[in-house]
Structure 1
Amino acid sequence: MHLPADEPISPRETRNPWLAKLTRDFLVGVLGAYSNLKLAARQLHDLLKITGERRISREPTPLVARRDGRIAAREKQRIVHAYYAGVSMKELARRYAIHRTSIRDVLEEGEVVLRKQRKISPAQVDIAVSLYKQGMSLARIGERLDFNAQTISMHLRRAGVTIRSANG
Structure 2
Amino acid sequence: MVRTDSRGPVVRNSLQSQTRLSFPIQERVVADYLDGVPMKEITARYGIHRGTVHKITRRADAPLRPRGFPDRIRQEAAKLYSEGQTIVQVAARLGISYEGARAGIVACGVPLRPRGRQPSKR
TM-score by length of 1: 0.39
Which has the bigger relative contact order, CA under 8 A and spacing at least 6? 2
Structure having the higher helix fraction is 1
TM-score by length of 2: 0.49
